[in-house]
Amino acid sequence: MMLNPASSPRHKLNYRILPGKYAICKFAADAAVPAWSQQSAGLMSITRTAEELSIVCAEAVIPPEIKAATGWTCFQLQGPFPFTQTGVLTSFIEPLSSNSIPIFVVSTFDTDYVLTPEEFSQAAVRLLGESGHVLLER
């Protein structure tokens, strides 16, 4: 069966901006999950692979001695989205990636979170609006 990428649906999504700034931390694959990371309000994601332990959390809870990529704005797509629904994330990130806005994505069972560096957040909101996505009140 041949798939036509141009035929994938373009969803118009509702999203919120989570309060505060977020950070992405990297640790050795065998590192313990630090207790401070679990004090994060809002999004907190822990991902372990054979190569690394990554933690996305509120910037405010990270101790100063921890090396982290800080200053990220977090956009929460308003799910839930069924696993059979295709093109959801692509519809949201395409206007960002096609305009050279860096992204970092975290997905959960019900929805997706797209993070952009703070200096790109106003442009991201503008581009998302121009693409038909709707920013909801916090």
Q: What is the mean pLDDT of each run of 10 residues along the chain (138 residues)?
A: 50 92 96 90 93 96 94 92 77 94 94 96 96 88
8 A C-beta contact, residue 59 and residue 24: no
Domain count, the chain: 1
What pTM value is reported for the model? 0.87
Residue 4 in any domain: the answer is no
Exposure class string for 103-134: b at 16+ Cβ within 10 A, else e: bbebeeeebbbbbbbeebbeebbebbeebebe
| pLDDT in the model for residue 2 | 46
What lies within 8 Å, CB to CB, of 88 at 6+ separation is 11, 13, 77, 81, 112
Residue 44 in any domain: the answer is yes
| pLDDT in the model for residue 41 | 82
Beta strands in 9-118 (DSSP E): 14-17, 22-27, 45-48, 53-58, 68-77, 104-107, 112-117
Residue 1 in any domain: the answer is no
Residue 3 in any domain: the answer is no
Domain of residue 22, CATH code: 3.30.2130.10
| pLDDT in the model for residue 8 | 46
Residue 41 in any domain: the answer is yes
| pLDDT in the model for residue 87 | 74
Residue 5 in any domain: the answer is no
| pLDDT in the model for residue 137 | 82
> Which structural domain, as residue segments, surrounds residue 118?
10-135
Residue 42 in any domain: the answer is yes
R_g of the chain, CA atoms, integer Å: 16
| pLDDT in the model for residue 4 | 45
What lies within 8 Å, CB to CB, of 51 at 6+ separation is 29
